[in-house]
Structure 1
C-alpha cells in the first residue's frame, strides 16, 4: 500500500503524492498489477529481455507517468518496460528456450553474458581511453575525456530509481564488476582535481547520484569549497530523478538537507547545474515534478535538459518542440539533443542520422529563441561530441556537414568537416569522408591516441 502526503505549492492547491518508494525488477515483474491485462506470453517475453538487459521500474512511474490505455505505444512504457525486439531474434530465442526449460541459473547467466558481449557495453573508448592515471595507476570510477571536465561515478550512485530501456550505460547495472565504473574514493578524486588546474567542471554521474543519501553527496561535494579546488567552478549532477522520483526534492526525509547542500555551494560561488534527462514532455506533466523544479531553482541551481532521439519514444519533431516549450516555461534550459549511442538495444531504438537531423530542424523551427539553446543532434563518439549541422549537395556530392562541439584534442573544437551522405547511417562510425578523401582531418591523431 502506498503512503501519501499532501504538499502545498505556491499557486496550487494541496497536492497528494505517493512517497513510498516501491521498486520492481525482473524477479517482481509479475507483481506489477497493470501487467495482469497482458497475456502470459507477453509477460514471458518481458522476462526474456529482462534477463539480458537491466529492468527496474517504480510505483510512481507505473501510477503517474504511463497511460495504460495506450499500450504498447505509450512513450514512458517504451522508456521503462522491456520489448521483445530489443534483442536480435536469435538471441531472444536462445534465452527464451533456456527459460522455458527452467535451465540452471548459471546457464542463464552465461547466455546473458554471451549476448551482452555483442552489445558494445562500453562505447566510444570509455574504458580504454577515458580513465585517467593517478600516481601511476588508473583512477577507479573516473573519466577525463575532455580537458575541462572530469566525470565521477560515486559507488553509492550506480543505480537509478528506474532504468531506461535504451540506456547507454546499461553495463553499470548488470552486476559485472569488470564492466562497471564506480568509486567511493572521495579523497583520491579531490587530490586528482587539485592537481589539474585546467579542470573547471566536475560532473557527478552514474547510474544516478540522486539515489544517494545527502550525507554521501556531502562527502564528495563539500570539498569543492576548499581553496585547493577553487578552480573547479562548475558542479554538474547528471540525473533522471526529476522523471523517475521527483519526491527526492520534495518529500524524501533528507530532501531539505539536499537542497540546503546545493544552495550552500551556490552561495559559495559555485555554478551548480542539474543535468536533467527528459525524453518526453509527459515526464514533466505531474504536479510533484513541477514542485521539485520550483524548489531546485529556488536553491539557485540551474536545470539543463538533455536526451537522445529514440525511436518508439520521441522520434517526432512535435514531441521535441512541445518538450522544449514546456521546459522553458518551467525555467529549465534546453541543452542537448543527442543521437542514440551504438550500444545495448540500439537495433530497436536507433534513428537514421538523416531523419535525426530532420527531426531537430523541424522541432527547432517551432520554438522561440529561448528554446534554441539546445545543441544537436550530437553524437558522443570516440573522438568527441560531433554535431550534425546540415545535409547539402556540394560539388555534385550529397554530404553531411559535421562539427566538433567537444574533442579529445581541444584544437578540434568548432572544426567543420564533411562526410558522405548515407541514408542508412545511424552513428558516427558508419560515416566515411566526403570528396574522395581517405580519412577525416583528425583520424591520424585519434588513432595515435588509441595506440593504433
Structure 2
C-alpha cells in the first residue's frame, strides 16, 4: 500500500473518530431532555391526581367531550393540581380578568409539577407578563384587513384560510388569535361558512384551502363532514388542509368516526403544533396513528418560544421524536408579536442559531424551514443561516455545516 493510500486511510479514520465524538456528544445532551414517552410514568401520576380532583374515571378520560367539559378554567381548581403560591394564585386571578384561559385535563397532566421552568406549564398556565405587555399588537398579521368575506383570510394567489371556530382544547398562552377567544366558545355561523364556500367557487385560482380556527377538529363530526364534502365538490380545490393542535392537547378527539369522515375526502393534509418533546406521548402517537390510517399526511408547525424550546437540543429532540411517530417537521415559526405574548418572542438570531445546530448534525428530514410571518399579512418569509459566502462567474465560496470553507466551480 503506497503512502498516499495510507494517508487517505488515516484521514478517513480520523474523520470517523471526529464524527463519532460529535454524535455521542449530541446524544448525551438529548438524553437530558425527556420526551413524553420517557416521562410517561410521571405523567400518569399527574393524570391520577387530576382525575381525583375532577371526580373522573378512566372512561371519562378517554372521552374528548368530557375533556372539553372539564377544562381547567379557574385559578382555584388549578391550585388543587399544581403547586401555586399565594402570589402565583393572585397573579393568575389578575391575568384571567383580561385573558381567558382553559387547559384540557390531558394537557395539564403533561406539566411537570417539580420543574419551575416546565415548557408545558409556560404554554398553558397564564403569566403576569401577559398583562404587563403594552407593545404587542392584537392582530399583527392583519387578518381583518386580508379578509375578502367573513371567515376568510387570503394572503396568497392560490390558497386561503377558512376560520371555522374559536374553540380549542387548550388556549395556548402564545396564541396568535387570542383576540378571537372571547368569553364563550362558538363556531362560525353556517351562513358565513356558505359565504366563504361561494367565494371559493367564484375564484377558480384557489386550489388549496386551510380549515382552521381555533381548532378545526373541535367542530362536530357532522359540521366537519359537511365542510369537507362541500370543498371536495369544488372542482378546482385540489388540496384540503386542517389546522389543529388536537394530537397535542386533546388526542382523545381523534375517534373512529372522525377517521371515517377524513377517509372520505382525500387528499387531506394536517399540520399540527408540537412545541416540546414532552408533548410527544403514547396518547399523541395513538391519535397520530389513527390520522395516518385515515390517509392524512401529517406535518408539524412548531412555534419558537423563548423559555420553552429556543434551545438547539430541545428542538433537535422534538424533531427526532416527531419523526418516530411519523410526523414530518415542516416549519419553525418565529413567535408572532401579539399583545400579551411578547415574553415568548425570541431574537431572530436565536432561530438562526437553532437552524445552524440542525443542519448537518441531524438528517434533512429533521430540519424544518424557519419562518418569519411578515407583519401586515404579507406572507411567510423563510430564513436561513448564510452558507453562500461569495459568488462569481468562476466559483462559489460556500460554508458547510461545520464552518469549513468550500470552493465550488461555477463554470
User: 2:63 & 2:227 partners in 1: Cα distance?
Assistant: 30
Which of the residues 99, 111, 118 maps onto 1:74?
A: 118
Correspondence 1:60 to 2:106: yes
* Structure number with bigger Rg: 2
Relative to structure 1, the CA distance from residue 32 to residue 175 in structure 2 (aligned partners, 3 Å threshold; closer, same or farther) is closer
Aligned to 1:87: 131
Aligned to 2:17: none
Quote how far apart the aligned CAs of 1:378 are: 3.0
Q: TM-score, normalization: structure 1?
A: 0.68
Which of the residues 325, 342, 346 maps onto 2:341?
A: 346
SS of the aligned residue for 1:37 comes to coil
Tell me if the contact between 1:317 and 1:363 (Cα under 8 Å) persists in the aligned partners: yes
Tell me if the contact between 1:305 and 1:332 (Cα under 8 Å) persists in the aligned partners: yes
Aligned to 1:308: 303
User: 2:364 & 2:136 partners in 1: Cα distance?
Assistant: 39
SS of the aligned residue for 1:145 comes to coil
Correspondence 1:260 to 2:260: yes
The 5-angstrom pairing of residues 169-248 of structure 1 reads 169-175=177-183, 182-185=188-191, 186-226=193-233, 229-248=234-253
Task: Point out where structure 1 has 5 or more consecutive residues left out of the alignment.
Answer: 7-15, 92-114, 133-138, 250-254, 396-452
SS of the aligned residue for 1:220 comes to helix
Which of the residues 85, 90, 94 maps onto 1:48?
A: 94
Aligned to 2:328: 333
User: 2:184 & 2:284 partners in 1: Cα distance?
Assistant: 33
Relative to structure 1, the CA distance from residue 35 to residue 47 in structure 2 (aligned partners, 3 Å threshold; closer, same or farther) is farther
SS of the aligned residue for 2:257 comes to helix
Quote how far apart the aligned CAs of 1:5 are: 3.8
The 5-angstrom pairing of residues 31-430 of structure 1 reads 31-35=77-81, 37-63=83-109, 65-70=110-115, 72-88=116-132, 119-128=136-145, 130-132=146-148, 139-154=149-164, 157-175=165-183, 182-185=188-191, 186-226=193-233, 229-249=234-254, 255-266=255-266, 271-285=267-281, 287-372=282-367, 374-382=368-376, 383-390=378-385
Q: TM-score, normalization: structure 2?
A: 0.75
Relative to structure 1, the CA distance from residue 380 to residue 332 in structure 2 (aligned partners, 3 Å threshold; closer, same or farther) is farther
Task: Point out where structure 2 has 5 or more consecutive residues left out of the alignment.
Answer: 1-54, 391-411
State the structure with bigger RCO (CA 8 A, min sep 6), 1 or 2. Answer: 2
Relative to structure 1, the CA distance from residue 282 to residue 296 in structure 2 (aligned partners, 3 Å threshold; closer, same or farther) is same
Aligned to 1:98: none
> Between Structure 1 and Structure 2, which shows a larger proportion of strand residues?
1
Quote how far apart the aligned CAs of 1:33 are: 4.7
Quote how far apart the aligned CAs of 1:24 are: 3.9
Q: Please identify runs of 4+ aligned residues in structure 1 that moved more than 4 A.
A: 16-19, 33-36, 180-183, 391-395
Aligned length: 332
Tell me if the contact between 2:252 and 2:287 (Cα under 8 Å) persists in the aligned partners: yes
User: 1:314 & 1:169 partners in 2: Cα distance?
Assistant: 21
Relative to structure 1, the CA distance from residue 33 to residue 342 in structure 2 (aligned partners, 3 Å threshold; closer, same or farther) is closer
